[in-house]
Structure 1
Amino acid sequence: MDSGGDRVRAPQRQSREEDQYRSLDISAEQHQQYQQMQKQQQQPQHDKQQGTGLMVEAPLQKSLSNMSVKSLPNSPEGGRLRTVANKYAVEGMVGSGAFCKVYQGSDLTNHEVVGIKLEDTRTEHAQLMHESRLYNILRGGKGVPNMRWFGKEQDYNVMVLDLLGPNLLHLFKVCGQRFSLKTVIMLGYQMIDRVEYVHSRGLVHRDLKPDNFLMGCGRQGNQVFIIDFGLAKEYIDPVTRRHIPFRDRKSFTGTARYASRNQHRGIEHSRRDDIESLGYILMYFLRGNLPWQGQNGQRFTDQKQHEYMHNKIKMDTSIEDLCDGYPSQFADFLHHARGLGFYEQPDYSYLRSLFRDLFIQKKFQLDHVYDWTVYTQPPQNTPQQHQHQQQRGSSQAVNSPPVHLQNRASNTVSYCPPLSKPEYRREVVAAN
């Protein structure tokens, strides 16, 4: 069972995380009701989604339903909260996390589809107000979702965001737990840009992982977005405008699978740690797994033991072993990250140049055709294109998608799934 990273929060938040795991347990009766609902809505639901601009054909809809555990189309608290700010209608729930629930909604003035994030005001460790403040700091940045409204409605803190597409963890699973080199480079280049922008606004994310990067919808379908700033922190003191001081013996906060080695040591998070986490994410996409992930099928219910095992294996694994068999640029990426000082700024231009040079070396084309694009669109080769592919000879093998994607490419799928948020990761855990 792949946890998608097994997020570990600070000790005072772990009880909420445990509640989240328990909330995924469903009875046989609930499961039967969910299956009946799926059968009843199989045809009419397709027509309804066409009206809202969301088209999910049968093969992909089956994939999405398999990734979900809970019955989704329920509005909060039995439907009591139907509108937000007298402008946004609250519709079906699409995800839930340890602190928030995410609903799909629509703007009543122009019928645009939006995402609505709800947090109970009685939550012991409320995060949505903190996150809304950071969204205001990041407002206007490329690859950062636009926060349309934040406020309180009844017993909820509410945040309304632009609708986004699927997260990279979900797409990774759709593509058979492996991305091609071309896809990883195109994603990595944009992900560096997103992290650089966050750092330029005086923030460190502190919880980078595949499910916190989403693809856009519509015209922004090729664009990577960065989300979930609930654990983000200012590394530039807003009063003194200086870098925060070095500290150690801090509680672990983040996701153990992608956390930097300094995070495991209890050292204060800085920009270098975000870059190291990004390097692990890219290697995860290439390899399909990481050496410290699920050793011998072991699963640890104790958070401390889980964190210790990740840390021990991560410390014992050299960068050369981790990147063995893959282009040297990925090892150079991680060497740069680990070589940075606490106060030092990463060389983002150098990191981008690594991928740019590799992209040119492999003679890839910047056509924004990702692995899931191959899966979700049928081949439409004209005779001229077919002749061109024959002339390319051996170079075609370099640019071609993995074999498991080539076999799927004959399926016709219109791909625009519902809103995907980091809270969706727990449904992914339970479904695997």
Structure 2
Amino acid sequence: MKCYDNKPASQSYQFLDKLGEGSFGYIWKVKQISTGQIYACKLVKNSMKKEKTLLQREIKILHLLKGKKGFTQLITSGQDHKNTYFIMNLLGDNLEQVRIKCGKLDTTTILNMGQQMILLLKELHSSNIIHRDIKPENFVVHQEKLHLIDFGLSKLFIQDGKHLEFRENKGMIGTARYASINALKGNEQSRRDDLESVGYLLIYLFMGTLPWNNIMAEDKNIKYYKIQRMKEAFKPETYINLPPELPKYMEYVKRLKFDQKPDYDCLENMFKKGEDFNRSPKLQIQQSHLQIKSNLLHLKSVERAQCLTSRKSLNQLENTSRRITFEDLSSAGADIIEELDKDEGITLKNLSVGIKQPQVINRINKVRTGSDQIFEIENKLKSNQLPISLKQLE
């Protein structure tokens, strides 16, 4: 499939719903007008110079992953005088959505997820790419398989045939809740950091929380330091109900040296329990409790005033997903700018982005409560509104 579309976007795709935000930029659900096929679109304003360059670098990473199973696949990309964007395949629910719908996941499911995550990182790292933002929102379920998405913070760790050199004081890149200890220190990241983040992620999915989830601090650097110290003191083997494979996994990845190649086969086998080693694992999500109580159902009884109050408190609580947030990328500016200065850009064809807009737009507002649960409030605009412009959507 072509990676560039010569047709004006208004003749190719129709924007349907805003799905959310990635590590930067907005994610939209779009329909290819000629075929009716549904895709996802990520776009940023050209006036956002740093974000635009990050988007271009993500497109470059997606070119390297073209045709590889388990990753976002680039369909086409382009820009006009206002926006730069790319079209990719639309996959299923992410693991945070799965956790909310299903509640606590059982040991078999967690180990199966771990096995698939290792296989994905093995493939990613074999392409000389590190992800640097491993978290539940960046793993999605599609056809009983996990897929890794959002390469906005990814980086080539092999350059000119050589491994990156270790450096300090680069600034934290990623999401603090799942970031490695070295990432929180602001050190250069490598393959070991992606793997350490997987460990925190699996523990979170099993326990439903992490000891440092609700750390509060006025200064982000103080917050990062507090989380770093808690992770340094964290001993997963002391948690009685935690699957024993997870402490063993964390012990291994924390011993890895900066430029050391991990033994992916050993890590994968840690998560296998009497399975056929030649069989490709399929994801079977099972809950620890027979009765499912989706948190979304309780939202119906919440009054609008309560929702607004919760939304006002959102800025005071931890945001672990989506855009360049307090906990994601705000402290990494100097490092990112330096990387962008060195990074080779790509050329995009000039496309007209006069997207035909639908008459009904779904807006998803994220509300985080003190118990760290996410609720989705869907507000639909009146169907008799005129189509809105791309500028209004931005």
TM-score (norm 1): 0.63
What CA distance in whole angstroms lies between the structure 2 residues aligned with 1:403 and 1:225? 26
Which of 344, 355, 362 lines up with 2:260 in the alignment? 344
Give the helix-richer structure, 1 or 2. 1
The answer to whether residue 269 in structure 2 is matched with residue 353 in structure 1 is: yes
Residue matched to 1:274: 194
Superposed CA offset, 1:87-139 (max 9, x none): 22222222135731111111122211011111111114222111000000111
Superposed CA offset, 1:320-342 (max 9, x none): 23x54323211111111011111
Structure 1 97/367 Cα, relative in aligned 2: closer, same or farther at 3 Å?
closer
Equivalent position SS for 1:161: strand
- What letter corresponds to residue 113 of structure 2 in structure 1? L
What CA distance in whole angstroms lies between the structure 1 residues aligned with 2:107 and 2:288? 10
The answer to whether residue 125 in structure 2 is matched with residue 199 in structure 1 is: yes
**1:402-421 map, 5 Å:** 402-403=288-289, 405=291
Percent identity of paired positions between Structure 1 and Structure 2? 28
Which of 236, 245, 256 lines up with 1:329 in the alignment? 245
What CA distance in whole angstroms lies between the structure 2 residues aligned with 1:91 and 1:367? 31
What CA distance in whole angstroms lies between the structure 2 residues aligned with 1:260 and 1:326? 20
Number of positions where the alignment pairs a residue of Structure 1 with one of Structure 2:
294
Residue matched to 2:140: 214
Shift of 1:175: 1.7
The answer to whether residue 11 in structure 2 is matched with residue 96 in structure 1 is: no
Residue matched to 1:120: 45
What CA distance in whole angstroms lies between the structure 2 residues aligned with 1:86 and 1:153? 14
Aligned-residue CA RMSD (Å): 2.5
Shift of 1:404: 5.3
Residue matched to 1:370: 285
**1:106-117 map, 5 Å:** 106-117=31-42
Which of 63, 78, 90 lines up with 1:163 in the alignment? 90
Shift of 1:166: 1.1
The answer to whether residue 65 in structure 2 is matched with residue 148 in structure 1 is: no
TM-score (norm 2): 0.69
What CA distance in whole angstroms lies between the structure 2 residues aligned with 1:91 and 1:407? 30
Equivalent position SS for 1:357: coil
Residue matched to 1:224: 146
Contact 1:263 1:269 in 2 (8 A): yes
Contact 1:102 1:423 in 2 (8 A): no
Contact 2:177 2:227 in 1 (8 A): yes
Equivalent position SS for 1:125: helix
What CA distance in whole angstroms lies between the structure 2 residues aligned with 1:253 and 1:429? 24
Which of 315, 322, 327 lines up with 1:423 in the alignment? 322
Equivalent position SS for 1:182: helix
Unaligned stretches of 5+ in structure 1? 1-82, 361-365, 372-400, 412-421
Shift of 1:423: 3.2
Contact 1:175 1:405 in 2 (8 A): no
Contact 1:292 1:313 in 2 (8 A): yes
- What letter corresponds to residue 112 of structure 2 in structure 1? M
Equivalent position SS for 1:114: strand
Poorly superposed stretches of 4+, deviation over 6 Å: none
Residue matched to 2:233: 316
Shift of 1:229: 0.9
What CA distance in whole angstroms lies between the structure 1 residues aligned with 2:66 and 2:230? 39
Which of 59, 71, 96 lines up with 1:132 in the alignment? 59
Equivalent position SS for 1:122: coil
Shift of 1:154: 4.1
Equivalent position SS for 1:118: strand
Contact 2:14 2:32 in 1 (8 A): yes
Give the strand-richer structure, 1 or 2. 2
What CA distance in whole angstroms lies between the structure 2 residues aligned with 1:133 and 1:98? 16
Shift of 1:350: 0.5
Structure 1 96/207 Cα, relative in aligned 2: closer, same or farther at 3 Å?
closer
Superposed CA offset, 1:326-368 (max 9, x none): 23211111111011111101111011111113668xxxxx774
Shift of 1:369: 3.0
Unaligned stretches of 5+ in structure 2? 1-7, 298-320, 326-364, 369-373, 376-394
Shift of 1:196: 1.0
What CA distance in whole angstroms lies between the structure 1 residues aligned with 2:139 and 2:245? 22
Shift of 1:258: 0.7
Equivalent position SS for 2:11: coil
What CA distance in whole angstroms lies between the structure 1 residues aligned with 2:200 and 2:23? 24
What CA distance in whole angstroms lies between the structure 2 residues aligned with 1:287 and 1:166? 20
What CA distance in whole angstroms lies between the structure 1 residues aligned with 2:198 and 2:136? 9
- What letter corresponds to residue 328 of structure 1 in structure 2? P
Shift of 1:264: 2.0
Equivalent position SS for 1:255: coil
Structure 1 91/275 Cα, relative in aligned 2: closer, same or farther at 3 Å?
same
Structure 1 228/247 Cα, relative in aligned 2: closer, same or farther at 3 Å?
same
Structure 1 226/232 Cα, relative in aligned 2: closer, same or farther at 3 Å?
same
Superposed CA offset, 1:200-240 (max 9, x none): 10011111011011112xxxx21111111111111101x2x
Contact 2:110 2:206 in 1 (8 A): yes
What CA distance in whole angstroms lies between the structure 1 residues aligned with 2:203 and 2:49? 36
The more displaced of 270-279 and 115-124 is 115-124
Contact 1:114 1:160 in 2 (8 A): yes
Structure 1 155/214 Cα, relative in aligned 2: closer, same or farther at 3 Å?
same
What CA distance in whole angstroms lies between the structure 2 residues aligned with 1:227 and 1:425? 16
Residue matched to 1:288: 208
- What letter corresponds to residue 60 of structure 2 in structure 1? R
- What letter corresponds to residue 231 of structure 1 in structure 2? L
